[in-house]
Structure 1
């Protein structure tokens, strides 16, 4: 899950309501993406001044997670001889809070080769799908790459339309025109091979996270994060992960 700022011409009489930390007016596209680059959930239209974590807390997805009404699978043990049951979680960046259903990196800059650093690398590696989904969306639907001369309500509808079209085209597997294989990031023994969408990344509207809002995390999610970190080091390592 991540957020992307969609640039707008400053709305009439809005003051700084839509003015974001990058110093332009925007609405936020908050997206939850699956491993096949499809958008499972989006929320569009929140004012650009609000952080990704703040946008998330005002969504129906957050309310349903809090109410435990999404019928998520029960927590499971990763493998024997573990006795810690790990819940199904959404991978996020530091702009979100650590909770029983959202997992974010360890804060600060952990020492190279440390358990925390390896966990952050593995989390970042898994989160790359949402960056790629946003990148492909902006590369194909170029209306997202320049300021929209529309009021936020109409801009929201256009952004939603691009998301629907993205999912529709992703699922038409008979067509190799949209989002070809080389469009997405890939890896060769841990080395990132940038997808084609990154070639003109500097011209694209930034979708990288905002600064996090400090919040004291509960003990259980902290324990789960440590458990996952130890698992990545001791039982499910990648040959090259100590180098990142």
Structure 2
């Protein structure tokens, strides 16, 4: 019997289940319009093999960790992305916080950070960032850029408003795109927030959630494509 997609991507299905975290609640409100699909539950027909198969970072599940505090989603997303890009299992949220402490916003513990504040941290982590505001891009450009990065074996950092995905109670957030299913035009959103599951969101859903205004920067959210400074990223199988 073929293994499920989540297992093939080396996710621990017990570990990726949503669980109570900082405020003791679990939520996963479905968005208006098209529903999110849950990894390991609603994707039984998806496969990594054959024409139209899922484009994914090989074994990305082994790198995935939920964020450690309620304001460090950006750093958790960077840790996942840098770990994959460098092939370094020792890169973690806590190691980046210690290493990049002088670059962290002074109000990180209360406000998190903006897309613009994350960029120098990406650079300091040995990656070359290419930052794209959703307001200056399009869903087509986003899809093409993500797929190109996934083909290189490197995930994509996305900054979006969770409420636009139907997850009420949380606003601006960072997570990582780790796969794309062309058969249904959905991206696998590796959500680092402890209370939400990993889901497949349509390209238009995710783009709309990025095309929102960050109240701290007064600019739209968006996404960051990265590559190693010392060479190309890992190649996807």
- Range into which the TM-score falls when normalised by the shorter chain: under 0.3
Larger fraction in helix: 1
The structure with the larger Rg is 1
